[in-house]
Structure 1
Amino acid sequence: MGTALAGVTLAISGCSSITNHRGYIDDETLIAAVQPGLDNQQSVRGTLGQPTLVSQFGQPVWYYISSRTEQSPFRQPKIEDHNVLAVYFDEAGNVVSTNRTGMEQVARISPDGDETPTLGRERGFLEDLFGNIGTVGTGAPGGQGRP
């Protein structure tokens, strides 16, 4: 009886979802502490830590990105929560404003098919497997042009 109960418990626990957190861990108290006009890049780094991304062009912006995914057994991970905190700075390095976005900015992309079209001829499995037999040393790729 004990073995059956252990087997059922193991089967149920094996079907649970795996939660994974990626990126910056949001802390509402620390985020609220960043004040436009009062803070600068040094104080923001001390409060929030190193940003996930830094803008390379235009106005200086630091991005703190976090996401939480869940994955059921034998399935692809699914984004459950996604947040981006953008901290905008002026040229002197002082905080101008902050902006938070979430799941409303996530774009779901569905690829068109599972093959990439390529130019050239189609080769079968056996041709891929045995295609180079007899071509070593002839100088011709794929056995073409042999005497």
Structure 2
Amino acid sequence: MAGLVLVGVVGACSPIVRHHGFVPPETEVAALEVGVTTKDEVISLFGVPAAERALQNNTIYYAASTFERLGPFAPNEVERQILAVAFDADDRLRNVSRYTLADGRVVALDRRVTDDGIADVSFLSQLFGSFGRIDAGTLLGQEP
């Protein structure tokens, strides 16, 4: 019985590892040629990037992270890789950079956030605002 409890405790304490994203392997990135490879070729080789900041600096990013979660604690990011592929004005490869968690560099990826259409309206404002639109006949089950 004590062995079963020990196995359960040890099993509950083992980390849960999750991988998110994709960064192409170094061998495939080495095949890219500066000044020759186009943005469309990079996307067809590696797939759709994690983020594209074409309006700001004509760079696409591939990102991958590994998270560990131990028991009830919040997940901890243990590994991060970001591949930044920069292009010139003609969409030809200009530079390839790799960043890791150890670099400590913040790379702000694009975020696509959908607007909910409710601007500065609290729950109470919505609740009290609906009182004037209630029809007493509808509440009592009478048809108009």
Q: In the alignment, what sits opposite 2:22?
A: 24
Q: 1:79 aligns with which of 77, 81, 84?
A: 77
Superposition deviation, residue 35 in structure 1:
2.2
Q: Is the 8 A contact 1:26 1:66 kept in 2?
A: no
Superposition deviation, residue 94 in structure 1:
0.8
Provide Cα deviations, 1:6-46, integer angstroms capped at 9, x if missing partner. 44323212210111111114422222222212211121012
**Matched residue SS, 2:29:** helix
Where in structure 2 are there 5+ consecutive unaligned residues?
A: 107-144
Letter of the structure 1 residue corresponding to residue 28 of structure 2: L
Superposition deviation, residue 88 in structure 1:
0.6
Describe the shift of the 1:83–1:44 C-alpha distance in structure 2 as closer, same or farther (beyond 3 A): same
Letter of the structure 2 residue corresponding to residue 21 of structure 1: H
TM-score with structure 2 setting the length: 0.64
Describe the shift of the 1:64–1:25 C-alpha distance in structure 2 as closer, same or farther (beyond 3 A): closer
Q: Which structure has the larger Rg? A: 1
Q: In the alignment, what sits opposite 1:37?
A: 35
Alignment coverage as a number of residue pairs: 105
Describe the shift of the 1:7–1:106 C-alpha distance in structure 2 as closer, same or farther (beyond 3 A): farther
Provide the identity percentage.
Answer: 24
Equivalent residue runs for 1:4-19 within 5 Å: 4-19=2-17
RMSD: 1.9
Q: In the alignment, what sits opposite 2:122?
A: none
Q: In the alignment, what sits opposite 1:140?
A: none
Where in structure 1 are there 5+ consecutive unaligned residues?
A: 108-147
TM-score with structure 1 setting the length: 0.63
